[in-house]
Amino acid sequence: MINIRQENPEDQKNVYEVNLRAFGRKTEAELVEKLRGADGFIPDLSLVAEEDGKIKGYLLLAEVHVKTKDEEVPALALVTLAVLPKAQKQGIGGLLMGRGMELAKINGYNIVVSSGHPEYYSKFGFTFAGDKGLTSKLNSGSSFMIAELSPNALDCVKGEVIYPQVFYAV
């Protein structure tokens, strides 16, 4: 049985390995490492999927802001959703996404941005961010997506998504 729980310090080496193996490169693993000590990191939104004492997947949501003409609106970015290759297509990513979105709402967030595969993330309510009036210097195109965690969360929120500086250093 898969247990979704908050990451703890003892998990960090295994989380690095999950990201490395899931993506086949260091980019996501290094970004997670750098984010842990940076603005925007929220320990409650750093989740592992564990089965039989082994970490099979990882999800991290970090705080970003949408800069409108009048204010900065807090939002979250889906930094990574990673599942070990041998554990993929077993629902682990869906469990992590479900719990992550639930905790995002509990923590008072209404907006989550992502850069990922439109076909996959649309299953979780993500749509093209440009259609909702959002831009980003970091993301663009059809992979720049947004999910509203509350109805009409973006009705009065149009502008640029601002990521913590660490996102640009990887």
Q: What is the pLDDT of residues 28-62, one digit of tens each?
A: 999 999 999 888 899 999 999 999 999 999 999 99
Q: What is the pLDDT of residues 83-111, one digit of tens each?
A: 999 999 999 999 999 999 999 999 999 99
The domain tally of the chain equals 1
- CA–CA distance, 112 with 52 (Å, rounded to integer): 31
Q: What is the pLDDT of residues 112-122, one digit of tens each?
A: 999 888 889 99
Q: What is the CATH number of the domain that holds 39?
A: 3.40.630.30
pTM for the complete prediction?
0.93
**Cβ–Cβ under 8 Å, residues 126 and 146:** yes
User: Which structural domain, as residue segments, surrounds residue 129?
Assistant: 3-169
**Cβ–Cβ under 8 Å, residues 110 and 148:** yes
Provide the pLDDT confidence category of residue 153 given band limits of 50, 70 and 90. Answer: confident
Provide the pLDDT confidence category of residue 22 given band limits of 50, 70 and 90. Answer: very high
**Cβ–Cβ under 8 Å, residues 30 and 15:** no
